Structure 1
Amino acid sequence: MIGVVIPAHNEESHITACLSSILLAAEHPGLAGQPVSIVVVLDDCSDQTEQIVSAHGVSGIEVSFKNVGKARAIGADHLLAAGAKWLAFTDADTVVPRDWLARQIEFKADAVCGTVEVDSWNDHGELVRSKYMKLYQFIENHRHIHGANLGLSAEAYRNAGGFQHLTAHEDVHLVADLKRVGAHIVWTATNPVITSARKDYKCRGGFGEYLANLGASLGLPALDPQVSAGVSL
């Protein structure tokens, strides 16, 4: 069984697109009928996220951590207990391609680190987009790490000790632990996900703040989003 974990903190505006894309990926013929179980870890949600998840027939786990590392870990533990042999992770404001899961499995690796593409640059402008594109490596054997596009075997996850309960960079620490235990990691740009470049990002130290910092480095006005610790990209 393949397990998919999605942490979510008040994501009613994005979760429908995310779940729709994952449900489609779960039906890809390349999976040869392997069952896929999806769980959304509802971390301190006070909006309609839970109701939307339920309407899609997807399982939700209600917690109140405001901690993305702990949320991912709880979701992973739930799926491992249910018998998952492969774990895939993304975020609630992200859309995955139809072959996302099939491509991860196809590599026959211990872990697969994928890339991200931005849905729209309207909120940031051409200067930020240009700098991002200049710095980002859309190539094989890149070294980008995103919790929004990560997959690994259950064995590798356990050997590495799982996600640490961190409010940011939990994905970076997990990959470091995978390297420490000698896991075979594939770094690919062939299965990119599309994620939001919104300014009201959820986590300091995550992808949203990275984009904000790019703008600041270019002398653009500083952002003042309502940030709450929760979900990182």
Structure 2
Amino acid sequence: MIGIVIPAHDEEASLHACLHAACQAARHPALAGEPVSIVVVLDSCSDASAAIAQRHPVTVLPLQVRNVGLARHHGAAALIAQGARWLAFTDADTLVAPDWLVAQLHLQVDAVCGTVSPDGWQGHPPQVQQRFARHYQDRDEHRHIHGANFGVSTQAYLRAGGFPPLPCHEDVGLVRALQAIDARIAWSASVRVVTSTRAHSKVRGGFGDTLRQWDVEERAHLARSPQRERVSVRTTCCACSRLT
């Protein structure tokens, strides 16, 4: 059996689409009928997330810890108790690809770190999108770590001690623990998800906070030297075009 863990804190705006995508991945024909169980960990929710989750074929696990590391841990524990051999993790503001699980399992490793694609750049200045394009490595052997796109065998997960109880960067903590036990990790661009670029992150220090900080830094830089920034932006666009 394969398990999917999705932590959520007040995600009524995005949860339906997230679960629809996860259920599609769970029904992929290449899984050859292997059962897939989806656990939605509702952590300190006060909105309609519970009602939305209950409209889907998932298990709802309510918590009041406001800690994504603990939320992922409890979701994983529930699936391990059901007999899951593989654990896949994503976020409630993320859409996994239809072949998401198939692509993870195809790599035949202990753990998989996939990449993310932004769902758009509305509300962000062009400089933030350009900075992402400069720094993000959407390729194999990328070395990015995303809780929104991660998979691990149950055996390796248990050997590594599971997710640490951190409110942020719990995914980094687990990957470091996996590296410490010499787990085989695939850094793959073939395992795809689309994630939100909302500026109001549900987790302090998460992707949304990073984008917001970039926004502040890029605006400040532009204010200090507008002419130089305009030249730099044009150069970056040309460089990106050459790379693509």
Give the alignment's TM-score, normalised by structure 1.
Answer: 0.93
Give me the CA root mean square deviation. 1.0
Which structure has greater helix proportion?
Answer: 2
The amino acid that maps onto 1:58 is V
Measure how far apart 1:57 and its partner are: 2.4
The amino acid that maps onto 2:146 is H
1:145 alignment counterpart? 145
Q: How many Å separate the matches in 2 of 1:178 and 1:26?
A: 25
Stretches (4+) displaced over 2 A: none
1:197 alignment counterpart? 197
| Aligned counterparts, 1:1-233, within 5 A | 1-219=1-219
Q: How many Å separate the matches in 1 of 2:172 and 2:153?
A: 17
Deviations 1:143-192, CA, capped at 9 Å, x for gaps: 00000000000000000000010000000000000000010000011122
Check conservation: 1:118, 1:195, Cα contact below 8 A.
yes
The amino acid that maps onto 1:184 is R
Aligned-partner SS, 1:33: coil
Q: How many Å separate the matches in 2 of 1:18 and 1:160?
A: 28
Indicate the structure (1 or 2) with the bigger Cα radius of gyration.
2
Check conservation: 1:132, 1:214, Cα contact below 8 A.
no
Q: How many Å separate the matches in 1 of 2:213 and 2:140?
A: 26
Measure how far apart 1:104 and its partner are: 0.3
Check conservation: 1:113, 1:185, Cα contact below 8 A.
yes
Task: Flag structure 1 segments of 5+ consecutive residues without an equivalent.
Answer: 222-233
The amino acid that maps onto 1:74 is H
Q: How many Å separate the matches in 2 of 1:220 and 1:112?
A: 37
Of 120-129 and 160-169, deviating more is 120-129
Measure how far apart 1:200 and its partner are: 1.8
Aligned-partner SS, 2:37: strand
The amino acid that maps onto 1:19 is L
The amino acid that maps onto 1:62 is P
- Comparing both chains, which one has the higher relative contact order based on Cα–Cα distances under 8 Å and sequence gaps of 6 or more? 1
Aligned-partner SS, 2:88: strand
Measure how far apart 1:220 and its partner are: 5.4
Check conservation: 2:14, 2:93, Cα contact below 8 A.
yes
Aligned-partner SS, 1:212: helix
Q: How many Å separate the matches in 1 of 2:68 and 2:163?
A: 9
The size of the alignment, in residue pairs, is 221
Q: How many Å separate the matches in 2 of 1:90 and 1:125?
A: 27
Measure how far apart 1:203 and its partner are: 1.1
Indicate the percent of aligned positions where both proteins have the same amino acid: 51
